[in-house]
Structure 1
Amino acid sequence: MSEVKKRLFCKLLAEEDIDLQQIPILPQPRSQSDYPASSAQASVFVFEKLYPGTAVYNVPSIVRLGERLQPELLRQALQQTIDQNEVLRLGFCLRNGTVRQVVHRSVPAVLGEDRIADAPEAEVMTILQRRIDDFALLPFDLQVPPLLRVQVIHLDRQEQYVVFVLHHLVTDALSVRLLVREVGDRYQCLRQGLPFEAQPQPIQYVDYALWEQSEAGRSSRLQSLEYWRSVLGNRRPRLPLPTDFPRPARRDHRGAVHRLTVDESVVARLRDFARAEGVTMFVVMLACYKILLAGVAGVNDVLVAVPMSGRSRAELEKLIGYFGNTVLCLSRLSPTMTVHEAVAAVRDTVLGAHTHQDAPFEEVVSNWRSGEPLEDGAYDAMFEFLDFRRPSASTEVAQESSWPAPVSLDFDVEVHTQTAKCSLFLCCWESGQALDGVVEYDPDLFAPETVAAWIEQYIGLLEALPGSRDRVIGELPVAGLDDRRLFEEGFRYPTESSAS
């Protein structure tokens, strides 16, 4: 379909008030061994081929148990979960230039076991952290399912850790929660000798991928692509963050992290501010991040990539698989804007992005940048605000699943795959009444002290925001920063006339 026909088609749909989201995805017969991958899977697969052996797309999660479990029953629960969810029986290959999902009828569950014994008490957590990191960093063979590894690490004391590692080709953040919950529920049923009442699944992930390739799926994407074409236009905003080291010709996606915590008192004031402004905490946190980046980079157009769930359809809400999509939130900020105006601008950007999140990131970028390769990098900064705590799962799992008590998702032990998806990725999550976060950054570009200074500025902005609704953002104070010169030189906004 030509571009003219695409736009005409979208216009007719809008005029008739036709919502393609209301047309359900239907199960398709399995008449062959392999099927097209979804657009999200295809992009991840291509990346893995460009950078083989990395752990960029390994997704770890940890469950800490306070009583001894029965490993054989856990293996059976894992096997039942794999049998129930077709996505966990998928391998991937490249055939005639197309990424394909290969459906396997039967895939054995493997449960690894490790033990930390006779170690000094003071060293146990250090050893545990190292074992978990090593397990999380192991690469997957994408052709061989399941793209899921599970290991139980037993400690000398009455405690063990169950470590789940999935590949992003078959999961996203919500899917990890669904998987952990299902395995826990099945384990408890086996333990008590009860039947497991599985939730009906009208479709499987392959059905979603086939729908995406269908005329209905393509038409739905066309509507969203038209929106992104109008929003991004011909602008090519980049984020020229000052680097400590020369940019390499080719990124190796090596990563480092810097952690942060926002105190309960600050978070309480931010929540009150968000309510008064009629926005979510996500919008407030993103607005502060954009204000920081605008000042540090000296630009008005601030482009930040934001991961979205991609589950805009009801039949996808409880399905395990990779539905996540990345959207490009572009906001124009001026140093003469008030905090209220800046937050409103970011809110409008987020609402539009959320409504049109089903347009595949690769297609958006391809249309926007006229076929320029993604390898050039479509964005430099990324932001995510989780409504559950790291790593990759929520306290809902402990509350709603039947893992043997006492159980918790462990947040004392964090997993980092030592990779970075972009130059600067800020991820924050709720931790009780406070907020915790981590900045994943490229150590080939930035020194640790530079990132630490930026995060201190970010926390200062969060502290200042609630009492600065009518202040212009170019004059915001930053509390607790020893070197005021860093802040003053960082906020070097260009004039409107010189802005790109």
Structure 2
Amino acid sequence: VWGDVLDVGEVGADDDFFALGGHSLLATRVTHRLGAALGTHVPLHLVFQHPTLTELAAQLGIPGESRPPIPVAPRAANPDGTITFPATSGQKRLWLLCGLDPQANLAYTLNGGARISGRLDVPALAKAVEEVAHRHEILRTTLREENGEVVQVVHPVWSGNWSSSADPQSAEAASDPEATRTYDEEQLLAEWRHSTVDLAEGPLFRTRIVRCADDAHLLLLSLHHTIADGWTLSLLLEEIAAAYTALGAGRSLPPAPVLQYGDFAHARAAEPTTADDAGLAHWLRHLAGAHAPDLPTDHPRPAVRTHNGEAIAVELSAEQVGEVARRTGTTAFAVVATALTVVLGALSGSRDVTIGIPTSGREHPDTAGVLGFFTNTLPLRRVLDPKATLAQTLRTTHDALVAAHRYAETPFEEIVRHAVPATEGHTRSPLFQTMLALNEAPSRNLRLPGLTVDRLDIPPAGTQFDLSLHLEQGEKAITGYLTYNTDLFADSTARLLPERLASV
């Protein structure tokens, strides 16, 4: 299982999962595979606590609890053909945020795509996208309020407007020899990432095929976070590729999956988190007395929280990070998280630093192939000890991450509701103002037969927090981008954070 998930050859009994290139999302896949093979639930935190094959195998010998499958919810169509499901706590939070500040829609939009070189069958690709949207209810979903409650609304038909004949750059206009062919990729991508949506009107999943030349096209994708996460984007690209390949070969597509995101939401609504939940109790202890550090800003903080932002590129040395992780028996995430908290502590003058970290939210193995918004955000608090050695500091961070994964199923909204005073204002995000995401999604590559495809990374046009660091680990470099709130920081100030992070 390890060799397959990590895409490596033989794995030794004493090899470390994270030293072989593993991270939390790959660990999640390992737990899904092992759980299916053993017929039991394999908690994610076990991989972090026991990262070698020998250690993990010993833990798997201990009887665990099996998890019942997620039941398929009843479906009753409304008169207009739509189907409604309860909204998850995460969807409700984003509905509120985007209602208070429409600019938040840009911050909570996943953009992606690909440059495609070769003889692309444009109608087949368009058909593949439509078929995938038909297979997954969440891609045809919007939100609305009913009797004071936010609900999901699944529409019978997807209207993602994947191309427009009025656009001289579109695939449909490609056959018109008189059409203007001026092409500015930078401007096109800027317009795409700045295009917003209405959560009630939709569509929340949009695509566009752009013809650059006879043998060069762009595929652009946009999904609002209320219906998707990084894992979803990866699954979506895989399914589009599979559908395109099947259509080209004249094969029929497999039936739509039985389990959909609405089923997960329906099951979650039936199991609310209570105040005596063990996970919630852990988080309340973890955050007792915590104070989010106040970073110095270039501009006064607005009276109401905003999401206006820009992105700058970030690059760290994967070799240096990996070496420190191996030497201290920790992980790349622990190294980067520790460095970030040290930088934030120095900037704020506080030793008590809390940052946000995303988890997949897919602890249940049934969710592995389901598209939707599963990501849960957790507060990682570090109280820095100036007398501690580097190894001690990293181990403390690592232990905090293990505990976070042990209690990762406690919804962030419940943590906030119980840990944040009701009197706290709306000028900033509760609990933390800086997010760190490392390897937040599996591979986002699109593979189409007979074509050369290069991934397009398109950062959001807003920022979810004051500072959000999104990184992906490669063999030689850890790359990504930092989004920063332009109402608080000047560009020159924001660029200091990656520099200081690299130096630490």
Normalised to the residue count of structure 2, the TM-score between the two structures is 0.78
RMSD, aligned α-carbons: 2.5
Amino acid of the residue matched to residue 26 of structure 1? P
User: How many residues are matched?
Assistant: 424
CA contact (8 A) 2:303 2:426 kept: no
Distance 2:278 2:309 in 1: 36
* Residues 1:372 and 1:326: Cα distance change in structure 2 (over 3 Å): farther
Distance 1:337 1:115 in 2: 62
CA contact (8 A) 1:34 1:103 kept: yes
For residues 219-278 of structure 1, what are the alpha-carbon distances to aligned partners after superposition, in whole Å with 9 as ceiling and x for unaligned? Answer: 699332122122112x1411111112222212331112222222xxx4223212212322
Quote how far apart the aligned CAs of 1:187 are: 1.1
* Residues 1:373 and 1:186: Cα distance change in structure 2 (over 3 Å): farther
Distance 1:20 1:99 in 2: 33
Partner of 1:55: 106
Q: Does 1:173 align with 2:173?
A: no
* Residues 1:276 and 1:365: Cα distance change in structure 2 (over 3 Å): same
CA contact (8 A) 2:140 2:205 kept: no
CA contact (8 A) 1:56 1:421 kept: yes
Write 1 or 2 for the structure with the bigger share of helix. Answer: 1
For residues 60-96 of structure 1, what are the alpha-carbon distances to aligned partners after superposition, in whole Å with 9 as ceiling and x for unaligned? Answer: 1011111132222222212211121111122211112
Partner of 1:99: 150
Amino acid of the residue matched to residue 195 of structure 1? S
Of 170-179 and 85-94, more deviation after overlay is shown by 85-94
Partner of 1:22: 67
Q: Does 1:38 align with 2:88?
A: yes
In the TM superposition, 1:79-94 aligns within 5 A as 79-94=130-145
Amino acid of the residue matched to residue 434 of structure 2? A
Structure 2 unaligned segments of length 5 or more: list them. Answer: 1-61, 78-82, 170-178
Partner of 1:365: 416
* Residues 1:157 and 1:77: Cα distance change in structure 2 (over 3 Å): closer
* Residues 1:252 and 1:317: Cα distance change in structure 2 (over 3 Å): same
Partner of 1:383: 436
Q: Does 1:448 align with 2:498?
A: no
Partner of 1:240: 294
CA contact (8 A) 2:135 2:257 kept: no
CA contact (8 A) 1:284 1:343 kept: yes
Amino acid of the residue matched to residue 310 of structure 2? A
For residues 170-200 of structure 1, what are the alpha-carbon distances to aligned partners after superposition, in whole Å with 9 as ceiling and x for unaligned? Answer: 10001001011101110111112122345x7
Give the alignment partner of residue 242 of structure 2, picking from 170, 177, 185.
Answer: 185
Quote how far apart the aligned CAs of 1:111 are: 1.9
Distance 2:338 2:361 in 1: 22
Secondary structure of 1:22's partner?
coil
* Residues 1:451 and 1:333: Cα distance change in structure 2 (over 3 Å): same
* Residues 1:269 and 1:139: Cα distance change in structure 2 (over 3 Å): closer
CA contact (8 A) 1:186 1:196 kept: yes
Give the alignment partner of residue 310 of structure 2, picking from 256, 259, 262.
Answer: 256
CA contact (8 A) 2:128 2:243 kept: yes
* Residues 1:319 and 1:168: Cα distance change in structure 2 (over 3 Å): same
Identity, % of aligned positions: 25
Quote how far apart the aligned CAs of 1:157 are: 5.9
Quote how far apart the aligned CAs of 1:302 are: 0.8
In the TM superposition, 1:22-421 aligns within 5 A as 22-31=67-76, 33-52=83-102, 54-108=105-159, 110-112=161-163, 127-156=184-213, 158-197=215-254, 201-215=257-271, 218=273, 222-233=277-288, 235-262=289-316, 266-372=317-423, 375-376=426-427, 377-378=429-430, 379-386=432-439, 394=443, 397-398=445-446, 401-402=447-448, 404-410=450-456, 414-421=457-464
Quote how far apart the aligned CAs of 1:421 are: 1.2
Amino acid of the residue matched to residue 405 of structure 1? L
Q: Does 1:426 align with 2:479?
A: no
* Residues 1:363 and 1:372: Cα distance change in structure 2 (over 3 Å): farther
Distance 1:93 1:167 in 2: 15
* Residues 1:374 and 1:342: Cα distance change in structure 2 (over 3 Å): farther
CA contact (8 A) 1:420 1:442 kept: yes
Distance 1:446 1:409 in 2: 30
